[in-house]
Amino acid sequence: MPEAPFVHLHVHSEYSILDGACRIPALAARAAEFEMPAVALTDHGSLAGAIDLYKETAKQGIKPLLGCEVYVADDRRALQKGYAHLTLLAEDNAGYANLIQLSSLGYLEGYYYKPRVDWELLEQHSSGLVALSGCLSGRVCKALEENRSADAEAELDRLAQIFGRDSVYVELQNAHLELQQRILPQLTALAHARGVPTVATGDVHYLRHEDARAHEALLCIQSGDSLRNPNHWKFDTDHFYFKSPQEMAADFPGNEDAVRRTLEVAERCNVSIELGVIRLPHFPVPDGRDAFDYLVELCERGLERRYGKSTPELQDRLRFELKTIKEMGFADYFLIVWDFIGFAKRNHIQVGPGRGSAAGSLVAYSLEITDIDPIKYDLLFERFLNPGRKSMPDIDIDFAVDGRERVINYVTEKYGRDRVAQIITFGTMAARAAVRDAGRVLEVPYGVVDKIAKLIPEGPGQSLDACLKPGQELKQQYDTDPIAREIVDLAKPLEGLVRQDSIHAAGVVIGAEPLTNLVPLQQKGSDQELVTQFKMGDVEGSSAAAST
């Protein structure tokens, strides 16, 4: 495969919620289609899509460039508006770890309308990062826009001082905005004068040129505005899409080095994430005893409680299960689950017995994690744990809503506030919701939109494509009603995009070390609860911690 002369280094996915519209699988596939050796992800303040990018680029045989467009304030703790954009890319694993810290602290210490970092944090976490000077909302560009050339020079020097001159690039962009084209010669002159290389980026917010209209609608959904309002917020051109190398070259005549230099940046960025490595926290065993020995003791006591009298059959089954648990390194896991279930029962918090394949475990039954006798019902332990399939045990446990918070607080106090978090979940626009949003931003009367939306069957898994097949009611309406056609055509590219984030109803992660060493965090809700930026599957797959 011939090497492409350009790599996108500034890209926003749907995890720049209601601003970016690139779905990560399609993004990776598009980069591969253009024969790019790599592609970056630089969502606003967040690393939520990092694991998705890592997985999807692997499928396409290209390199993931993990980054973030951070919001920089002078003082992250000051409750006042005002911030600038800065594009950061992880050069190595140390840089990725620093990105996690910066993104997390932006939310945990600097959140005021946006997750903000400041120069103090950037100095503390600059190692292993490549800094691009930013878009029009960056400090360098803003100074040039306002004819403050000395300030632009000082801002660039500050970046060089923090990140090292070899790790800073002046970012050139051309989305056919008049202001970009006016200051582009000034940026190149500044870079030359200060001995800093230039690099061309695209500030990608959607995948294809024809997606510009849907992206405009997405911004209206975010702002609660209408496409019919002539003053609605929108991007001023339709050039914020994932352009081909040839298109990018055409956008930067005379700056061919800045286009080619994207390959240099891509080549120097090499982050390796161990997916699927399990890092369990340690259960605080009384008197410093060995965790497995303590588990054996608890199981033997529980066996007597459950059966009254042990038999050779029970002993053999228990020994077999314990041997497997020891070999797989899950003794602490069983103790942790046993402990917080015990807390719930002692405090009269309704807790459902562990469900699913865990019902096949005599260990779980002896510890009163489950209440189904696996011997009586001839249930197989191997469906629950199997050395040939190294994955976390899956014990589904239900707590009453009015007691769940007490259990989380108990776990938090026991293992440390910096090691326990709830897990984020992302709500996407289902087919009906996409139709309703499209109708609203088009200012179609609610009753008309409602009738069209109700032509989509209720329930999960419904898609507009399926509902537009011959014979479907929506298809008939689409073919005969111009308003329905306009709404559906706008809804189709919106369908499935992330619309909001919230807290997973049942996901909690417990880390073997401070979570910000492993996964990015943020806060959610009126109580500012600590949550992961990664969704459930990514937490489990990113070698972060144990989720239960």
pLDDT tens digits, one per residue of 162-171:
999 999 999 9
User: Which of 69, 3, 88 has the alpha carbon at shortest distance from 37?
Assistant: 3
Q: Which residues 6+ apart lie within 8 Å of 281 measured at CB? A: 332, 336, 415, 419, 510, 511, 512, 545, 546
Q: Is residue 39 part of a domain?
A: yes
pLDDT value for 546: 41
Q: Is residue 378 part of a domain?
A: no
Q: How many domains does the chain have?
A: 2
Mean pLDDT of 221-229: 96
pLDDT value for 374: 95
Note the Cα 140 to chain centre separation in Å.
29
- pTM assigned to the model: 0.93
Q: 3-state class of 300 per DSSP?
A: helix
pLDDT value for 89: 98
Q: Output 398 or 245, whichever has higher pLDDT.
A: 245
> Rounded to whole angstroms, what are the CA distances from 179 to 83, 175, 182, 232, 403?
20, 10, 5, 20, 56
Q: Rounded distance, CA 295 to CA 279, Å?
A: 19
Residue 115 φ then ψ, to 5° = -80, 105
- Final residue in a domain of this structure, among 470, 493, 516: 493
Q: Output 542 or 388, whichever has higher pLDDT.
A: 388
Q: Rounded distance, CA 19 to CA 38, Å?
A: 23
Mean pLDDT of 105-113: 96
- In terms of Cβ atoms closer than 10 Å to its own Cβ (0-12, 13-18, 19+), residue 475 is middle
Q: Which amino acid is at 198?
A: T
Q: Is residue 122 part of a domain?
A: yes
Q: Rounded distance, CA 26 to CA 73, Å?
A: 33
Residue 28 φ then ψ, to 5° = -65, -40
- What's the sign of the alpha-carbon dihedral 340, 341, 343, 344? positive
Q: Which residue has the tokens 């492409």?
A: 4
Q: Which residues pair with 180 in a beta bridge?
A: none
Q: Which residue has the tokens 């991007």?
A: 235
Q: Rounded distance, CA 82 to CA 107, Å?
A: 16
Q: Rounded distance, CA 26 to CA 37, Å?
A: 15
Q: 3-state class of 103 per DSSP?
A: helix
> Rounded to whole angstroms, what are the CA distances from 157 to 119, 140, 264, 381, 395?
13, 10, 21, 62, 54
Does residue 224 surpass a pLDDT of 70? yes
In the chain, count H helices and then E strands: 21, 15
Q: Rounded distance, CA 368 to CA 345, Å?
A: 10
pLDDT value for 6: 97
pLDDT, tens digit, for every residue of 480-537?
999 999 999 999 999 999 999 999 877 899 998 999 999 999 998 767 889 999 999 8
Note the Cα 405 to chain centre separation in Å.
24
- In terms of Cβ atoms closer than 10 Å to its own Cβ (0-12, 13-18, 19+), residue 205 is buried
Nearest-5° Cα angle at 332, 331 to 333: 90
pLDDT value for 346: 96
Where do runs of H (alpha helix) occur along 66-148? Answer: 93-108, 119-124, 139-145
Mean pLDDT of 130-142: 98
Quote the domain boundaries for residue 138.
Answer: 24-207+242-268
Q: Which residue has the tokens 């959607």?
A: 206
The two three-digit tokens of residue 284, written as one number: 């605080």
- In terms of Cβ atoms closer than 10 Å to its own Cβ (0-12, 13-18, 19+), residue 236 is exposed
Q: Output 213 or 278, whichever has higher pLDDT.
A: 213
Whether residue 522 contacts residue 46, with contact meaning beta carbons closer than 8 Å, is answered with yes
pLDDT, tens digit, for every residue of 27-79?
999 999 999 999 999 999 999 999 999 999 999 999 999 999 999 999 999 99
Where do runs of H (alpha helix) occur along 49-174? Answer: 50-60, 93-108, 119-124, 139-145, 149-163
Q: Is residue 233 part of a domain?
A: no
CATH number at residue 197: 3.20.20.140
pLDDT value for 1: 38
Q: Is residue 175 part of a domain?
A: yes
User: Which of 346, 361, 348 has the alpha carbon at shortest distance from 306?
Assistant: 361
Mean pLDDT of the chain: 94
Does residue 389 surpass a pLDDT of 80? no
Q: Is residue 94 part of a domain?
A: yes
- In terms of Cβ atoms closer than 10 Å to its own Cβ (0-12, 13-18, 19+), residue 525 is exposed
Mean pLDDT of 354-378: 91
pLDDT value for 254: 95
Whether residue 182 contacts residue 146, with contact meaning beta carbons closer than 8 Å, is answered with no
Please tell me the least confidently modeled range out of 350-359, 411-420, 527-536: 350-359
For strand 546-547 and strand 498-510, is the pairing parallel, antiparallel, or unpaired?
A: antiparallel
Q: Is residue 75 part of a domain?
A: yes
Q: Is residue 362 part of a domain?
A: no
Q: Grade residue 202 by pLDDT with cuts at 50, 70 and 90.
A: very high
pLDDT value for 2: 41
Other Cβ atoms less than 10 A from the Cβ of 456: the count is 23
Where do runs of H (alpha helix) occur along 347-461? Answer: 362-366, 401-415, 431-441, 446-453
Q: Which residues 6+ apart lie within 8 Å of 355 measured at CB? A: 370, 395, 396, 397, 398
pLDDT value for 279: 82
